[in-house]
Amino acid sequence: MLEKIVSGGQSGADRAALDIAVELGLATGGWVPRGRRAEDGRIPERYEGLRETGSGAYATRTERNVRDSDATLVFGFGSPSGGSELTARLARRLGRPLLVLDLSQCTSEAAATRVRAWLAEKETRILNVAGPRASREPAIAEATARILREALRSPDS
């Protein structure tokens, strides 16, 4: 049973995942760069449980979030690049469960079904969510939120 969603707090997929966690009453957390740095300024304080690394480097928080989670879910349109690619590479290197979703290849409904089944199979309690930042993929926050909302909704709602 999923208890917590973590991310690096960047705009786009990361922030959408934290917003859905709050909406659904799940805990939030994760490592963020020193100063709560993101492309759009300081990561808002409303996200409880975020911890700053001693570094302003995004890669530091990325590795810690992969390491400290039960599984990592990467959203994107096309093959992962940049920080998303690093996240997937780190999950593989650390032997952590990883699901990379290319949203250009499936419907939101199919993606939500796949995420729900994968989380159950992996018995995930703490999920790390990653994906492109908003400036690289403007539609990613909405897509991430829609899929996670559907995948994580209770069966009787």
- Identify the architecture of domain 4-152 in CATH: 3-Layer(aba) Sandwich (3.40)
Helix (H, G, I), strand (E, B) or coil at 32: strand
Delimit the domains of the chain by residue range. 4-152
Residue 155, pLDDT > 70, answer no
**pLDDT tens profile 88-147:** 999 999 999 999 999 999 999 999 999 999 999 999 999 999 999 999 999 999 999 999
Q: Is 78 left (phi over 0), alpha (psi -120 to 50) or beta?
A: left
| pTM score | 0.96
Average pLDDT, the chain: 96
**pLDDT tens profile 39-98:** 999 999 999 999 999 999 999 999 999 999 999 999 999 999 999 999 999 999 999 999
Question: Of all helices (H) and strands (E), which one includes residue 100?
Answer: strand 98-102
